[in-house]
Amino acid sequence: MTEPIVFLQGRNLTLRPMESSDYTDESLRWLNDPAVNVYSQRRPFPYTRESMPLYQKNLEAAGNGYQLAIVETGTGVHVGNIALVNIQSIHRCAEIAILVGGTGAQGRGIGREAIYLVTRHAFAFHNLHKVFAGTFNPAFVACVEGLGWKKEGVFRERIWSDGSYHDQIWLGVLREEFRRQPEYEEV
C-alpha–C-alpha distance, residues 156 and 152, integer Å = 13
Residue 123 three-state SS: helix
Hey, how many other C-beta atoms are within 10 angstroms of the C-beta on 154? 13
Does the CA dihedral 153-157-161-162 come out positive or negative?
positive
Per-residue pLDDT at 24 exceeds 80: yes
- Residue 125 has a pLDDT of 95
What is the secondary structure of 85-120 as a DSSP string?
Answer: EEEETTTTEEEEEEEE-STTTTTSSHHHHHHHHHHH
What φ, ψ does residue 51 adopt, rounded to 5°?
Answer: -85, -15
C-alpha–C-alpha distance, residues 12 and 71, integer Å = 9
User: What is the rounded average pLDDT for all residues in the chain?
Assistant: 92
118 closest CA partner among 161, 158, 74, 173: 173
CATH of domain 8-184: 3.40.630.30
C-alpha–C-alpha distance, residues 161 and 185, integer Å = 36
The answer to whether 110 and 36 have CB atoms below 8 angstroms apart is no
Q: Which pLDDT band, with edges at 50, 70 and 90, does 86 fall under?
A: very high
Better pLDDT: 110 or 102:
110
Does the CA dihedral 114-116-122-128 come out positive or negative?
positive
Q: Which pLDDT band, with edges at 50, 70 and 90, does 161 fall under?
A: confident
* % the chain with pLDDT above 90: 70
- Residue 5 has a pLDDT of 82
Strand partners, 173: 131
Hey, how many other C-beta atoms are within 10 angstroms of the C-beta on 107? 9
171 closest CA partner among 187, 146, 6: 146
List, for residues 123-148, the tens digit of each pLDDT value. 999 999 999 999 999 999 999 999 99
C-alpha–C-alpha distance, residues 147 and 157, integer Å = 26
C-alpha–C-alpha distance, residues 123 and 105, integer Å = 27
- Residue 37 has a pLDDT of 82
